[in-house]
């Protein structure tokens, strides 16, 4: 057994340290798993492939999981894939249930991570074979499916869709990128801004601007009232957490994990789509989803199991096609090239040892993540007790570091923070919805590429319906998703009317709040 020679103390130590650093990166608003992997990449040269991979996979798993912390406690997604965690996590934290929310997240993350690792181990080549059946047309339909969730997650469907389309519009600013197969020409901008906007607005600064900076502006407007409202933090005794919360949620947990793995596996669809899809499927399919968006654990379960399942999913095309499934694995590929190892369809058969070692590191990192976080949560949750006059300046500073570092040092990304901070503030004020807008922004540019490329290749709109059986299935899912959201919309309208007739006048702000 040659493998055993790699599995020394150092190996497990590196995986643990990686996970810890990853969690810290993920937990800091503005820092992401991608960044954690990127900054530690040069270290792997000295460590050798197996040890280097242990560190990087730890960082990856830790970074994705760590994103839940600011999402729940501060309403700022620590990584793009934890957006949906904010929907239910933050309302729970506001009710003083932050600790419980985080524990639900940790358990879901562990399950998601392990399920996807298992899928990766047993079915990687098979699934890679399946994933290449997805051409431009099918990828566009997957994105369309993810976009339909906008309808079901907004509190007012018209406003939600309008916000989503604004998000798509914003994502188109800049060049129609050559590296996506576009013609490299700029659109939707003023000439004066062209030097800064050629690459458009990048996702992370937009995200932390619209969630982080705008939250601070909104608080500033209210005068930054001190402390947590009422300090009703439910400390100790696990914050009211028990595994009983997962009772009746096993379907949700498994379904979301598989959705996460599957979406992660499709290159170019974008990792954030995973948790969004899982979240809305839960909303559409669960028996009672009326509490989702107001602080329901089921939302956290869907979101967090899906985004951790992404890790195994995104490794599938990387290791069996040589194609990264998301932005973090795109950086991870550097670890292989630095060591002179080619990843491609023959990687797994030709590097059995490395492959096994990676799987061990992946599973181990998930377990370490679980123990580190589950027992640290008690202390982490106290972040909300830090006075705002200390906390807010630090958040701004960390957002700056994150925004500046995400594209390896571009000052315009820092200004993007402010632009979208103010924009987020205005959105909130005029009653548009943030979540659909962000989802539109995330998916907009790939929607464009796959839509236009499909038409360029086939020259007819009918191709979207006739391309393949997969396309037909996707259309059925899209139709179902839209159908569900209309039904849900009607239901909630009926309920609102009932409430309105009981308590008149109390819903004045009803059209303005969102998750």
In the region spanning residues 13 to 52, those forming contacts with other proteins, defined by CB under 8 A, are 38-42
Q: How far is the CB of 370 from other proteins (least distance, A)?
A: 25
Least distance in angstroms from the C-beta of 392 to other proteins:
6
Q: Confirm or reject binding of residue 231 to other proteins (CB under 8 A).
A: no
**Between 62 and 267, whose beta carbon lies closer to other proteins?**
267
Handedness of CA 63, 64, 66, 69 (dihedral sign): positive
Q: CB of residue 265 vs other proteins: minimum separation in angstroms? A: 12
Q: Rounded to the nearest whole angstrom, what is the least distance from the CB of residue 177 to other proteins in the complex? A: 7
Q: Is 333 in the site for other proteins (CB under 8 A)?
A: yes
The answer to whether the CB of 294 falls within 8 A of the CB of 91 is: yes
For other proteins, which is the closer residue by CB, 99 or 448? 448
Sketch the per residue contact string, 133 through 172, with other proteins: x for CB under 8 A, - otherwise: --xx-------------------x-xx-xx--xx-xx--x
Residues 240-269 that bind other proteins (CB under 8 A): 267-268
Single residue of 389, 469, 498, 503 touching other proteins by CB under 8 A: 389
In the complex, least distance from residue 399 CB atom to other proteins, rounded to whole angstroms: 10
Helix (H, G, I), strand (E, B) or coil at 174: strand
The window from 75-83, 107-115, 287-295, 334-342 that contacts other proteins (CB under 8 A) reads 334-342
Could you tell me if 400 and 417 are in contact, meaning their C-beta atoms sit under 8 angstroms apart? yes
CB of 160 to other proteins, least distance (A): 10
User: Which residues lie closer than 8 Å to 292 by C-beta, 6 or more apart?
Assistant: 87, 88, 279, 282, 283, 286, 298, 299
Site for other proteins in 403-422 (CB under 8 A): 404-405, 407-411, 414-415, 417-418, 421-422
- Counting other chains too, the contacts that 342-348 makes at CB distance below 8 Å and 24 or more residues apart are 343/318, 343/319, 345/125, 345/128, 345/320, 345/321, 347/319, 347/320, 347/322, 348/124, 348/125, 348/319, 348/320
- Give the three-class secondary structure for 284: helix
Name the strand (E) or helix (H) holding 63.
Answer: helix 49-66
The 8-class DSSP code of residue 510 comes to G
CB nearer to other proteins: pick between 110 and 335? 335
Residue 489 interacts with other proteins (CB under 8 A)? no
Q: Considering only residues 446 through 485, tell me which ones interact with other proteins, judged by CB under 8 A.
A: 447-449, 451-453, 455-457, 459-462
Q: Which is nearer to other proteins, 185 or 287 (CB)?
A: 185
344 binds other proteins per the rule CB under 8 A: yes
Contact 14, 51 (CB under 8 A): yes
Cβ 143 to other proteins shortest distance, Å: 12
Tokens 């643990």 belong to residue:
16
Burial of 195 (0-12, 13-18, 19+ CB in 10 A): exposed
**Smallest separation (angstroms) from other proteins to the CB of 201:** 13
What is the SS3 assignment for 302-349? HHHHHHHHHHHHHHHHHHHHCCCCCHHHHHHHHHHHHCCCCCCCCHHH
- Smallest separation, CB 301 to other proteins (Å): 32
Residues in 352-381 at the binding interface with other proteins, rule: CB under 8 A: none
- Cβ neighbours for 119, distance < 8 A, ≥ 6 positions apart: 127, 258, 261, 312, 313, 316
Give the number of residues in contact with other proteins, rule: CB under 8 A: 109
Instruction: Supply the DSSP string of 114-140, one letter for each residue.
Output: HHHHHHHHHHHHHHHHHHTT--HHHHH
Contact 167, 191 (CB under 8 A): no
The only residue of 1, 2, 46, 185 in contact with other proteins, by rule CB under 8 A: 185
In the complex with other proteins, the residue whose CB is nearer, 223 or 244, is: 223
Q: Taking CB under 8 A as the criterion, which residues in 192-221 touch other proteins?
A: 195, 198-199, 213, 216-217, 220-221
């Amino acid at each position: 057994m040659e493998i055993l020679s790699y599995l020394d103390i150092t190996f497990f130590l590196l995986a643990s340290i990686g996970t810890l650093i990853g969690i810290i990166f993920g937990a800091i608003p503005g820092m992401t798993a991608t960044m954690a992997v990127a900054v530690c990449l040069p270290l792997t040269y000295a460590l050798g492939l197996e040890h280097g991979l242990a560190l990087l996979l730890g960082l990856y798993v830790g970074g994705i999981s760590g994103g839940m912390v600011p999402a729940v406690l501060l309403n700022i997604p620590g990584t793009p894939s934890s957006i949906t965690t904010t929907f239910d996590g933050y309302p729970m934290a506001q009710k003083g249930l932050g600790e419980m929310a985080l524990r639900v997240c940790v358990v879901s993350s562990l399950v998601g991570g392990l399920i996807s690792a298992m899928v990766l181990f047993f079915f990687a080549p098979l699934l890679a074979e399946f994933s290449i059946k997805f051409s431009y047309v099918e990828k566009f339909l997957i994105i369309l499916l993810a976009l339909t969730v906008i309808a079901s997650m907004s509190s007012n469907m018209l406003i939600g869709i309008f916000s989503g389309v604004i998000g798509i519009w914003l994502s188109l600013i800049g060049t129609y990128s050559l590296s996506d197969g576009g013609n490299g020409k700029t659109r939707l901008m003023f000439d004066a801004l062209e030097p800064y906007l050629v690459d458009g607005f990048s996702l992370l600064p937009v995200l932390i601007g619209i969630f982080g900076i705008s939250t601070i502006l909104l608080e500033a407007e209210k005068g930054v009232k001190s402390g947590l409202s009422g300090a009703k933090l439910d400390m100790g005794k696990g914050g009211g957490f028990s595994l009983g919360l997962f009772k009746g949620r096993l379907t949700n947990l498994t379904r979301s994990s598989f959705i996460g793995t599957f979406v992660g596996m499709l290159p170019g669809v974008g990792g954030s789509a995973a948790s969004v899809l899982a979240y809305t499927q839960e909303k559409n399919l669960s028996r009672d989803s009326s509490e989702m968006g107001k602080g329901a654990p089921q939302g956290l379960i869907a979101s967090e199991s899906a985004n951790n399942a992404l890790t195994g999913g995104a490794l599938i095309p990387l290791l069996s096609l040589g194609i990264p499934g998301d932005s973090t694995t795109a950086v991870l590929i550097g670890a292989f090239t630095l060591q002179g190892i080619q990843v491609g369809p023959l990687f797994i058969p030709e590097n059995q040892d490395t492959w096994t070692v990676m799987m061990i590191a992946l599973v181990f990192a998930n377990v370490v993540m679980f123990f580190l976080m589950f027992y640290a949560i008690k202390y982490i949750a106290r972040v909300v007790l830090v006075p705002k006059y200390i906390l807010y300046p630090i958040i701004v500073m960390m957002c700056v570091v994150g925004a500046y570092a995400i594209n390896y040092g571009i000052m315009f990304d820092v200004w993007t923070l402010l632009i979208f901070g103010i924009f987020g503030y205005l959105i909130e004020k005029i009653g548009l919805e943030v979540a659909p807008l962000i989802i539109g922004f995330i998916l907009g540019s790939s929607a464009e590429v796959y839509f236009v490329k499909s038409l360029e290749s086939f020259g007819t709109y009918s191709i979207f319906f006739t391309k393949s059986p997969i396309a037909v299935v996707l259309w059925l899912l899209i139709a179902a998703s839209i159908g569900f959201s209309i039904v849900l919309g009607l239901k909630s309208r009926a309920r609102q009317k009932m409430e309105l007739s009981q308590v008149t006048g109390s819903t004045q702000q009803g059209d303005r709040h969102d998750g």
